[in-house]
Amino acid sequence: MINLKPVESIAAVFLMTFMAVFLQCSGETHHSTPDHKDGPAHAEQHETAKGHETEQEKEEHTERHSEDEHEAGSHSEPGNFGKDMAVTAADREKGIQLSPKALRTTGIATTPLSTYRTEGGIFRVPKSAVIHYEEKTAVYILRDGWFLLSPVSGVHEAGNVTIIKIPGAKTTDSIVIKKTAILRLAHLEAFGASGHGHGH
């Protein structure tokens, strides 16, 4: 049996207690630290999470892009029109635009609408300017380069002249007085309605 002096005995007890606490703390630290040696499983989870984030980012980008298009978009629709076609543009509110070549080929002619204006907002237009469709009567107005189908009211025919009212007519408008039937077909074709016998 080892005989220790009081001071040495106290020092030995202190040293043993310190070592026990140190070893216990080291053990807790070791167990609490993630084990990165099982790398493949951890890497796979990381890549999967990354993949989900990438897909989510793509979806969010697509949604934002669609919203932007919706906010900035017009009433244009897919149809038989385009840059190199007779009808270069079509819009449900504005009407259609024709290429210069199409205008020359078809012989469509316009005249300032003010030419036919009379008192009380009534217009006496050539009969050739008026078209009838689906029990409706309308004329084509040329406004800012767009041919717009404009419904009319108060229709009264007097020989080669048709007396009408054109709601929303502007002083700068022109009216199509020749080849309106061809323009009507172009309008229907632009919106893909020529085969259905109706249009906007």
Together in a domain, 185 and 141: yes
Higher pLDDT, 165 or 50: 165
81 domain residue, yes or no? no
Together in a domain, 40 and 122: no
Higher pLDDT, 77 or 113: 113
Question: Degrees (nearest 5) of the Cα angle 144, 72, 149?
Answer: 35
45 domain residue, yes or no? yes
> If we measure between CA atoms, which residue out of 90, 196, 195, 102 comes closest to residue 146?
90
Rounded to whole angstroms, how far apart are CA atoms 163 and 127? 9
What number is the average pLDDT over the span 134-155? Answer: 95
Query: Does pLDDT of 58 surpass 60?
Result: no
Range of the domain at 58: 6-72
Kindly state the greatest CA–CA separation across the chain.
142
Count of the separate structural domains present in the chain? 2
Rounded to whole angstroms, how far apart are CA atoms 83 and 17? 90
Query: Does pLDDT of 186 surpass 80?
Result: yes
Rounded to whole angstroms, how far apart are CA atoms 81 and 189? 8
Task: For residue 196, give Cα distances in angstroms to 122, 134, 140.
Answer: 33, 12, 20
Higher pLDDT, 143 or 119: 143
Together in a domain, 66 and 107: no
> If we measure between CA atoms, which residue out of 182, 77, 178 comes closest to residue 126?
178
146 domain residue, yes or no? yes
- pLDDT bin (cut points 50, 70, 90) of residue 139 is very high
Q: Which residues pair with 96 in a beta bridge?
A: 90, 147
C-beta separation of 175 from 141 below 8 A: yes
What per-residue confidence (pLDDT) applies to 113? 97
- pLDDT bin (cut points 50, 70, 90) of residue 24 is low
In eight-state DSSP terms, residue 33 is S
Residue type, 50: K
| Core vs surface per residue 36-45: b (16+ CB within 10 A) or e | eeeeeeeeee
pTM passes above 0.85: no
42 domain residue, yes or no? yes
- pLDDT bin (cut points 50, 70, 90) of residue 80 is confident
Residue type, 179: K
pLDDT by residue (tens digit) across 95-129? 999 999 999 999 999 999 999 999 888 999 999 99
Query: Environment class of residue 187 by beta-carbon count within 10 Å: exposed (0-12), middle (13-18) or buried (19+)?
Result: buried
195 domain residue, yes or no? no
What per-residue confidence (pLDDT) applies to 188? 93
What per-residue confidence (pLDDT) applies to 84? 86
Q: Which residues pair with 137 in a beta bridge?
A: 132
159 domain residue, yes or no? yes
Find which of 44-58, 65-79, 108-122 is predicted with most confidence, using mean pLDDT: 108-122
- Least-confidence region, from 32-36, 51-55, 92-96: 32-36
112 domain residue, yes or no? yes
Together in a domain, 91 and 186: yes
**CATH number of the domain that residue 176 is part of:** 2.40.420.20
Rounded to whole angstroms, how far apart are CA atoms 17 and 37? 33
